[in-house]
Structure 1
Amino acid sequence: MTTDAPLVLRIARRFDVTPERVFDAWLDPAVAGRWLFATPGGAMQRVEIDARVGGGFLIAEQRADGLASHHGRYLELDRPRRIVFDFWADPGDADDPARVVIDIAPAADGCELVLVQHLPARYADYADRTRNGWTTLLANLARTLDAAPAATHSRETSA
């Protein structure tokens, strides 16, 4: 057994809104800044999202223990079904990032999101913490979407 094999984490969450609203919440800086990598005691400092394949994101929040920066590079955007991005928090990990795959499927009265993260083997000890983090973030997303009215226009994202 190789110790270099990534660990695969899978988290599923049901939402009572359309797949388009869930998809767009990942890519709209005004919405993402309210839930994505946001913590109760933190203050969001920067939310930059270049929502195109090859584009990326930087989300930085000031926390009690310092600035927490989250970076990503979009590999696939298929509205409203799929988002794939490479992800890293430590700048030294940009050359060996985690891969995150988000699939969104219509369901009765909403949709289901399945998030799969391929976590580099060196972070295996953080698997539970990572799973709990994504679970909390998806709950934050649900609260954000419940509190925000649906947009009156549709946002196009190129693939």
Structure 2
Amino acid sequence: MTTEVLRVEKKINAEPARLFRAWLKAEDFSRWFLSGDLIGIESTNIDPRPGGRFQINMLLDGKIFPHEGEYITIEEPTKLVFTWRSHATGGRDTLVTVTFTALPAVTGKSSAGAVNKPQTLVTLVHERLANDIEIKMHHHGWASILEGLENWMAEKE
């Protein structure tokens, strides 16, 4: 086992419970879980329970790249822990922990005037990566994915 760890954080204007559930509903998940502009989702299969498995088939240049794993911990609405295996991990299981921490509401504007919007800090920690190359590849992917989650949440308002 290696000690290489990646950490990505993003503040998103949404409640922790809404963000948490977006990770576990296949129809929602496939709309925002995109790791780059040229990447699409061919299919998603999610069994959201401890011991349940998931498979995400990403599509790039006509090729399918499977990403799969198993849910270890599901503590709604604060924490998800799952294994992550793909071509980018050399087919090895790695470990991902996603936490959702409620932050003080932010003041925003609406047609009715000023409103307080819930805000959440989403923290993603990816462990057991083999080297700096895997960290760089996954940093770009996870940062894009969290950006996609933020954009998708903003569209749903």
Per the TM superposition, whether the score is higher than 0.5 is: yes
Q: Which stretch of the first structure deviates more once superposed, 34-43 or 72-81?
A: 34-43
Asked whether the equivalents of residues 15 and 120 of structure 2 are also in contact (C-alpha less than 8 Å), the reply is yes
Q: CA deviation at 1:130?
A: 1.2
Alignment CA distance shift 1:6-1:65 (3 Å): farther
Uncovered stretches (5+) of structure 1, i.e. residues with no partner: 150-159
Aligned position for 1:145: 153
Aligned position for 1:154: none
Identity of aligned residues (%): 23
Alignment CA distance shift 1:58-1:37 (3 Å): farther
Aligned position for 2:110: none
Aligned position for 1:152: none
Q: How many residues align?
A: 143
Of 107, 117, 141, 2:103 maps to: 107
- 1:74 matches 2:71: yes
TM-score (norm 1): 0.82
Asked whether the equivalents of residues 73 and 82 of structure 2 are also in contact (C-alpha less than 8 Å), the reply is yes
TM-score (norm 2): 0.83
For 1:120, give the aligned amino acid: L
Distance (Å, rounded) in 2 between the aligned partners of 1:145 and 1:25: 9
Aligned pairs for 1:1-159 (under 5 A) are: 4-37=1-34, 39-64=36-61, 66-90=63-87, 93=91, 96-109=92-105, 110-121=119-130, 123-149=131-157
Q: CA deviation at 1:65?
A: 5.5
Query: What's the C-alpha RMSD, in Å, of the aligned pairs?
Result: 1.9
Asked whether the equivalents of residues 38 and 44 of structure 1 are also in contact (C-alpha less than 8 Å), the reply is no
Q: CA deviation at 1:41?
A: 3.2
Once the two structures are superposed, residues 74-127 of structure 1 have per-residue CA deviations (whole angstroms, 9 ceiling, x without a partner) of 00000000000000113972xx41100011111112111111000332x43221
Distance (Å, rounded) in 2 between the aligned partners of 1:134 and 1:92: 17
Alignment CA distance shift 1:25-1:34 (3 Å): same
Q: CA deviation at 1:50?
A: 0.3
Which is strand-richer, 1 or 2? 2
